[in-house]
Amino acid sequence: MEGLVHEIEIRRAKRALSERKIPDEVLKRIMTAATYAPSCFNNQPWRFVVVNEKSKLEALHDSLAGGNYWMKKAPAIIVLATKPDLDARLSDRREYALLGCGLAAENLMLQAFKEGVVGHAIAGFDPLVVKAKLGIPEDYIVITLIALGYPGDETHLSEKHLALEHSPRQRKPESEVICWNAWSFPGKQVTGSS
């Protein structure tokens, strides 16, 4: 594959992380890349908290679901938060802040990959604990935590996670997620006018 598609294809959300500190200049480049994401009317609805102090990292560990034990080795965790009124609120429940934050997270993880750093976003955490530990206002949505770390030793991983580290990349067939010119996925169809 040519171009950026190659990097996107080989980037993986690994769990075997080194506890080696990520230099500040590398973290700054990763975070700058995140802020260059496109957003509706350039609203930039993302709010990031970069956590790389040991005591703050340990405080965040209290929020992790059991299956995310591996994240405790990450020398940096990025907290991504927003609130709907930081961006356009449109018809049919479209909270555009969420799209903008997703784009920023992808930029962040691609730049991390370019720097030789693993970026792994998770959903398995208690956002109320994260808010309390970091002083994030109640009206914000903590969308994800992103572990950042250099590739590390796999010996602490569970059998399941060790298998995932070495499994081939699996994607749904494009025919299941892409259709052309009209909705043609299985299920209830809405007849539209042409």
The mean pLDDT of the chain is 91
The pLDDT assigned to 192 comes to 57
Which among 62, 69, 65 has a CA at the least distance from the CA of 134?
62
12-26 burial, b for 16+ CB within 10 Å, e for fewer? eebbbbbeeebeeeb
Which among 61, 46, 64 has a CA at the least distance from the CA of 108?
46
pLDDT tens, position by position, 49-90: 999 999 999 999 999 999 999 999 999 999 999 998 988 787
What kind of fold does domain 4-177 have according to CATH? NADH Oxidase (3.40.109)
pLDDT tens, position by position, 82-116: 998 988 787 887 788 999 999 999 999 999 999 99
Distance CA 146, CA 75 (A): 11
Distance CA 97, CA 78 (A): 18
